[in-house]
Amino acid sequence: MTKTLLIVDDNLEVCKSLIHNFDRFNYTSYYALNKPDALQRFLQHQVDAVLLDLRLGQDDGLDLLQHFFSLNPKVPIIILTGFASIQTAVDSIKLGAYDYVQKPINFQKLQTLLDNAIKLSQTRRENDAIKSKLIDATSKIITQNHRVIELCVKAKKLANSDMPILILGESGTGKELIADFIHNNSSRSSGEIVKINCSAFPESLIDNELFGHEKGAFTGADAEFQGVFERADGSSLFLDEIAEMPLTTQAKILRAIQNQEIRRIGGKQTIKITTRFIGATNKDLQERIRSNAFREDLYYRLNTATLSVPPLRERKEDILVLTEHFLQEFAKAHGTTLKVLSEEVVDVFHHYDWPGNVRELKNTINYAATISMKDFIDLSDLPAIFLNSNAQTNETKVMDVVEKNLIISTLKKTNYNKKKSAEILHISRRTLYNKLEKYGITEGK
């Protein structure tokens, strides 16, 4: 498939050289030597990516970058820069550029970077196309992850049926949000979804909460009581942590789902219901079946329509968009200015495993935003677990990430003066050199 590239550089020889090289890799390339020509070609051709030199004679490259984004924010832009303008290139990334390549250009590196940028852009466009087919009920589901988007598409299709649905996923992944999404996209959305966490009730009370009781059914039953199955009649019932119910209760739920009827405690007659059932669990139900803790027949009744919510560590592209959402929520709720994350915190967040998933991320953001007295959140504002050297991540320890970023930050402040950096860090120069080797830190990296 041919890809279209726009090269913007005031050096004609650079443009011709890049065009010649990219011709061999199925690119159709256009070039512009100044801002007016660049904007004209950007509008004329549906480009897949832009290579932009920020130094365009009298023209402002950053201004042109912003013009490109205003015309089409989905086109990835890679900055071409000389050593003297690296800081400007970094500033351009903060404005939205995909990345930068330093001159003299390593073509192989540039080609790899460009291919990755275009693939990412195409994926985002495909995701946007899927998102556009979903109605406004998705607004509470904040994601850029293709698995979550596909899950929403499947959930919307299932919402139009009355079959029971089982939502699987670790604690804190957002199973309740998926249940809300299903209900809001169903024909039952005019009613309120009824929710209950099964693990919150002891065995002696769970049946009463689910099915209700008749007056006089037991000591203290002075009036009849409707359980959640009845209260959700004509609407949807969400039972979270269904694996925590006793086997006798599971049998009653199976009958309620199959026969669409329940019997109150102390009742002599069954009561017909039209309740849509949605269950969720963070447990391995097949393992629970093997240990005789979950009914196999109920499992197969629910297993027909299952939705698996991926953990946050498997959709790390969602970390920053979720963080931005939670920061906006916090600022609005507390009437404060919107805080941002420091680069070091962003790095730590991406390396952290998030065992508590989205719920842990939200709690972390709320804590840090409360603690921080600045307009940004840095490492000192994070909960202690992020500074715990025993907190293991997929690739490294969080403490290593913190230490690496601290060293890089100090080196930058001292213009890579090793002696001064070691003094500021309160370590010997030998220790500093050992850590530079350990973390692969070189000058300018």
For the beta carbon of residue 155, count every other beta carbon within 10 angstroms: 22
pLDDT band at 391 (very low <50, low <70, confident <90, very high): very low
Distance (Å, whole) CA 157 – CA 318: 24
Q: State the Rg of the chain over Cα.
A: 28
Residue-wise pLDDT tens digits, 109-123? 898 889 888 888 887
Backbone angles phi, psi at 237, to 5 degrees: -120, 125
Decide yes or no: CATH 3.40.50.2300 for domain 3-128: yes
Does 313-439 match 3-128 at the fold level?
A: no
Residue-wise pLDDT tens digits, 400-421? 666 777 788 788 888 888 888 8
Q: Residue type at 211? A: F
Residues 6+ apart with CB under 8 A from 37: none
Q: Please, where are the H alpha helices in 303-428?
A: 318-334, 343-351, 357-371, 398-413, 418-425
The residue that leads in pLDDT, 128 or 60, is 60
The residue that leads in pLDDT, 169 or 57, is 169
**Sign of torsion over alpha carbons 233, 136, 336, 383:** positive
Quote the tokens at residue 7.
């090269």
Decide yes or no: CATH 3.40.50.300 for domain 138-308: yes
Residue-wise pLDDT tens digits, 203-232? 889 999 999 999 988 888 899 999 999 999
Distance (Å, whole) CA 16 – CA 275: 68
The answer to whether residue 79 scores a pLDDT higher than 60 is yes
Backbone angles phi, psi at 441, to 5 degrees: -90, 125
CATH fold of 313-439 reads: Helicase, Ruva Protein; domain 3 (1.10.8)
Quick check: 344 and 379 in contact, CB under 8 A? Answer: yes
For the beta carbon of residue 10, count every other beta carbon within 10 angstroms: 17
Torsion of CA 27, 32, 38, 42, to 10 degrees: -20
pLDDT at 137: 44
The answer to whether residue 46 scores a pLDDT higher than 80 is yes
Mean pLDDT over residues 47-61, rounded? 87
Of the CA atoms within 13 Å of residue 137, those in its CB half-sphere come to 18
Domain boundaries, the chain: 3-128, 138-308, 313-439
